[in-house]
Amino acid sequence: MSLTSEDADPSEQRAVARPAAANAHPNRVTFNRLELNRILNLYGRMVADGEWRDYAIDFLKDRAVFSVFRRASEVPIYRIEKDPRLARKQGMYSVISATGLILRRGQELERVLLVIDRKLAVV
């Protein structure tokens, strides 16, 4: 029994079309799943502590930005940026304060986020 295009399963057609849709903006810088997972884990802890309330993610042509807000109506208190152009120089990850001061920059996201990740220390 042969299937014509009219008899084909619609889910198979969508599965074929899906990879093309995933690459809709190939020229934009994005956070990968592991990076976003680490950032959102930190964000969740800070929301639970009552320090952060809102966030925004921007995927631009030259960099990806995760902005953290204390209130939605304010400027971001921190911006976590990924700029691949700086990967071989100062490091592609940076944490920037509300005043524009670069708090930390480096090659590894984990180490860069330590500047704002306040963990409880057992004494």
Which of 113, 120, 89, 115 lies closest to 35 in space, CA to CA? 113
Q: What is the pLDDT at residue 22?
A: 53
Q: What is the pLDDT at residue 25?
A: 58
Residue 121 confidence class, pLDDT cut points 50, 70, 90: very low
Mean pLDDT of the chain: 79
DSSP annotation string for 81-111: EE-GGGTTTT-SEEEEETTS-EEEEES-HHH
What phi-psi label fits residue 42: left (phi over 0), alpha (psi between -120 and 50 degrees) or beta?
alpha
Higher pLDDT, 3 or 68: 68
DSSP tally for the chain: helices H, then strands E:
3, 5
Residue whose structure tokens are 């990967």 = 87
Q: What are the boundaries of each domain within the chain?
A: 33-113
Query: pTM for the full model?
Result: 0.71
State yes or no: pLDDT of 11 exceeds 50: no
Residue whose structure tokens are 């966030």 = 55
